[in-house]
Structure 1
Amino acid sequence: MSAVELFLLGRTLMKIGEEALPAPEAAGEGAAAQGARAVLIALSDITAHPGSAVGEIARRTGLPQSQVSTAVARLKKAGSVVTSPDPDDGRRLLVRPAEEVSERVARVRATRIESALAAALGTADAAALSEVTAALEVLARHLPPGALANLRP
């Protein structure tokens, strides 16, 4: 597999994932997809590194600080994260997952990919769906979100 093929596969998988996600209640279609990426990336990092400042999340994820700030604001409004002042620097806020899972997070976590995957494959053939799903599970096991940290100096 070439780097280009891997890049295009990654883009395809991302688009299938976006299609599978339940739409936010009050967002424009394009804004929802753009925002969902940043929100999911930020929430994954916040879960892995609770008590981080926005700048730290931006550094680890490679997202611009403005996108992380917007994602944190959306997550806070949805009840998925809480913020508190940094005791060492009152100008910064530290972000951590909320104690209770919000309704939105529960709905997103419960969403399955089968219908979006079937649409992308152009078939509802159970054997094909099973084979691709199994391959995706192997990839997810070996390449979790934290693996990206290995690529950054």
Structure 2
Amino acid sequence: MNGVEAFLLGRTLMKIGEQAMPRPKSGPAGAVRSVVVVLGDVVSHPGTTVGEIAARTGLPQSQVSTAVARLEQAGSVDTEPDPADRRRRLIRPAAEPSARVTEVRATTIDEALVAALTGPDGTAPTPDTVREVTDALDLLAHALTPSVTAR
């Protein structure tokens, strides 16, 4: 696999993940990707600021601020003033998972994965194929995503 193939696989996996995630019951639709990217960064870097998240993720600062506000409203993150600079807020994962986090974590990608594996002619994948791909994704998640093993 080369870098382009890895990049394209990553984009495909992001789309499968987005399709599998339950939609929020309230708040604006859309922007799921930026919210998930921001939450992932906060989990990896607790006690971070909006500017630091923007620098690490490449997202515009305004988009990070919006995502943090949505995550705070959902109870997924907590914020507090930065003692070094009271104008900034430090962002960290909420001590207890919110109902939304619990809902998202409980939702599998099974249906979205089957849809992605369905052939252009509408031929559904075999159960063995779905199981093999699911096992491979579990292996990749545990090897490449430290936060998965922390759950």
| TM-score, reference length from structure 2 | 0.85
Deviation at 1:124, TM superposition (A): 5.0
Listed as ranges, the matches of 1:45-60 within 5 Å are 45-60=41-56
**Partner-residue secondary structure (3-state), 1:83:** strand
Which amino acid counterpart does residue 8 of structure 2 have in structure 1? L
Runs of 4+ in 1 over 3 A off after TM superposition: none
Deviation at 1:50, TM superposition (A): 1.4
Q: What is the aligned partner in structure 2 of residue 149 from structure 1? A: none
Q: What is the aligned partner in structure 1 of residue 107 from structure 2? A: 111
Deviations for 1:81-112, whole angstroms, at most 9, x for unmatched residues?
11111111111011111122111110001110
Q: CA RMSD in A?
A: 1.8
Q: Which runs of 5+ in 2 are unaligned?
A: 119-123
Question: How many residues are matched?
Answer: 142
Q: What is the aligned partner in structure 2 of residue 86 from structure 1? A: 82
- For the pair 1:11 / 2:11, whether they are aligned, the reply is yes
Q: Which runs of 5+ in 1 are unaligned?
A: 147-153
Q: What is the aligned partner in structure 1 of residue 121 from structure 2? A: none
- For the pair 1:62 / 2:58, whether they are aligned, the reply is yes
What is the distance in 2 between the residues matched to 1:100 and 1:43? 14
Deviation at 1:3, TM superposition (A): 3.0
Q: 1:84 to 1:69 in 2, by over 3 A?
A: same
Q: What is the percentage of aligned positions where both structures have the same residue?
A: 60
